Amino acid sequence: MNPQLLQTIVTIIIVLAAFAFVIYKILKKIKHPVNGCDGCSADCAGCEIKSLKAEIEKAKKNKSKRHLQIN
């Protein structure tokens, strides 16, 4: 077998495998998006997403309180 033909076949197989992997990851993200701490293997102690979410909720409450005080 011609070495250049073998090299081309191996390259095509690698590129197709990489393409299939990318398609798989994209479809996985579309079908099952990550929500909050989903996919996190930790118990969320010290989780940055959880603390950021708490800060956002606190800011929303403060904003609504200020809005009520103004009106």
pTM listed for this prediction: 0.47
- 8-40 confidence digits (pLDDT tens): 999 999 999 999 999 999 998 888 776 655 555
CB 37 within 8 A of CB 49: yes
Percent of the chain beyond pLDDT 90? 34
Q: What DSSP string runs through the chain? A: --HHHHHHHHHHHHHHHHHHHHHHHHHHHHHS---TTTT--S-STT-HHHHHHHHHHHHHHHHHHHHHHH-
